[in-house]
Amino acid sequence: MTERNRREILQAAAGLGLSFLLPALELKAAEQRGAERPKSLLILWMAGGPSQLETWDPHPGSKTGGPVKALPTRIPGAQIADLYPRVAEQIGELNLIRSLISREGDHERGTVFMKTGYRPDPVLTFPAVSAIAAYKLPVPGLEIPAHVSLGDGQLPARGGFLGATHDAFRIYEPGRQITNMKPLVSDDRQQRRLDSLQVVSRAFTQGRRIQSANTLHQLTVERALQMMNSEQLKAFDIGSEPAEVRQAYGDSRFGRGCLVARRLIEAGVRSIEVTLSGWDSHASNYEGHRTQAEILDPAFATLIQELKSRDLLQSTVVLCIGEFGRTPNINPLEGRDHWPKWFSCVVGGGGLTQGRVIGETDPDGAADAKDPIEVQDLYATILKMLGINYAEEFQTSIGRPIAFSKGTPIERLMS
């Protein structure tokens, strides 16, 4: 970037009232990640199943539309629900898929399918796509977990047959001090405790080398101690962020989670999941979605804004998705029920194309969606953009070869 271009960008940001982004433009956060620009995966998980009609695929004035209105976006000709004015300004950097299809209409089964690309299997636990990314793309020098789940989701991303070490490290209250990261005793006493633990560990290992290794006890202790003493822990702390930045994300668990996610991406964390619960709108659907939008709109928009201004969006695949959509018909409780037949997501960054809309749905809710997109194809696309061989087969502990994804990448999404 030339000095003239840099100065023009700074002036434009100031003119738009985005002064809180100026420090990021002065020193790009991407530089902290090195010249190779390793990619990360960031999933905004909408737990409960958001309605496509009150988010990314509104049909105002139709028999299915309800009271929501439509709002123009930065994607030419594309509109989203008027509950998302800030996202409408930023969504041009991403893509809309309005024709995702699933066959899982139960919350738990739908969550498993949408996080892994595989329908639940009674004898095998599949890894989340975020766990695959952390497994296949280790981060040298990273002293904090490479796979993190932020928020209060009941079914966080799991490592599945890759092993429990690839489960997401859970933070229920992002942005606040992580518990159990500091010893409750003096340094000397802590060291004496560790020395005593080593004596017990060595005694147990004698004659039980294989059994001891299988417990992962020593590895867990070593990683915990490394993390407790790491400067990288500061990535979880938003106390050093300017007040205007924290305010822009919103004072909510999800807003703080999105801010922590941006900091973790800067630190080099490979996979991050931020959960916003509360989308299960069997009653009072519109009012519930309006409440959710007050949380999602500022956090999502500011996150995209900051990733772009810090030159991190092209190295971060961003996916906003839930386990299914909501019925076109409105029930007697003014709610919408489970609907996996077709629904929406937002995806972009990480080298994907931008400003594309895929799929179209019937305003009357009767016909099938045009240009249907399989979930496994979406995840094959994401894995490929992360530099992972999506068709690679992993030999599970029961001797069963399983491909990371059985889908086919969506060429239209890959620039």
pLDDT tens-digit profile of 168-177? 999 999 987 7
Q: Looking at the predicted structure, is the pLDDT value of residue 193 above 60?
A: yes
318, β-bridge pairs: 42, 348
347, β-bridge pairs: 95, 319
Please report the pLDDT score of residue 7 as a whole number: 40
What CA–CA distance (Å, rounded) separates 200 from 356? 59
Q: Looking at the predicted structure, is the pLDDT value of residue 28 above 90?
A: no
Q: What is the mean pLDDT of residues 20-45?
A: 67
Q: Looking at the predicted structure, is the pLDDT value of residue 364 above 70?
A: yes
Q: What is the mean pLDDT of residues 306-335?
A: 97
Q: Other CB atoms closer than 10 Å to residue 16's CB: what's the count?
A: 10
The winner for highest mean pLDDT among 2-11, 88-97, 211-220 is: 88-97
Q: Name the token pair of 390.
A: 């999506």
- C-alpha atoms less than 13 angstroms from C-alpha of 14 in its C-beta half-sphere: 9
Indicate the pairing of strand 271-276 with strand 169-171. unpaired
- Binned at pLDDT 50, 70 and 90, residue 192 comes out as confident
Torsions phi, psi of 29, nearest 5? Answer: -65, -20
Please report the pLDDT score of residue 217 as a whole number: 61
Please report the pLDDT score of residue 128 as a whole number: 98
In the chain, what is the greatest distance between 2 CA atoms, to the nearest angstrom? Answer: 74
Torsions phi, psi of 79, nearest 5? Answer: -120, 150
Please report the pLDDT score of residue 211 as a whole number: 66
Find the Cα–Cα–Cα–Cα dihedral 213, 217, 223, 228, rounded to 10°. Answer: -170
Q: Looking at the predicted structure, is the pLDDT value of residue 19 above 60?
A: no
What CA–CA distance (Å, rounded) separates 240 from 237? 7
Q: Quick check: helix, strand or coil at residue 396?
A: coil
The per-residue pLDDT for range 141-174, each reduced to its tens digit, is: 999 999 999 999 889 999 999 999 999 999 999 9
Q: What is the mean pLDDT of residues 21-42?
A: 64
Q: How far is CA 76 from the centre of its chain?
A: 26
Q: What is the mean pLDDT of residues 393-398?
A: 91
- Number of H-type helices and E-type strands within the chain: 12, 15
Torsions phi, psi of 142, nearest 5? Answer: -80, 125
**Mean pLDDT of the chain, nearest integer:** 88
Residues 6+ apart with CB under 8 A from 11: none
Q: What percent of the chain has pLDDT over 90?
A: 74
Q: Looking at the predicted structure, is the pLDDT value of residue 203 above 60?
A: yes
Q: Looking at the predicted structure, is the pLDDT value of residue 16 above 90?
A: no
Q: Name the token pair of 59.
A: 């049909």
Q: What is the mean pLDDT of residues 400-404?
A: 95
Instruction: Return the ∠ at Cα 93 (arms to 90 and 95), rounded to 5°.
Output: 105
What CA–CA distance (Å, rounded) separates 205 from 66? 65
- Binned at pLDDT 50, 70 and 90, residue 17 comes out as very low
Q: Looking at the predicted structure, is the pLDDT value of residue 308 above 90?
A: yes
The per-residue pLDDT for range 214-236, each reduced to its tens digit, is: 666 666 666 665 666 678 899 99
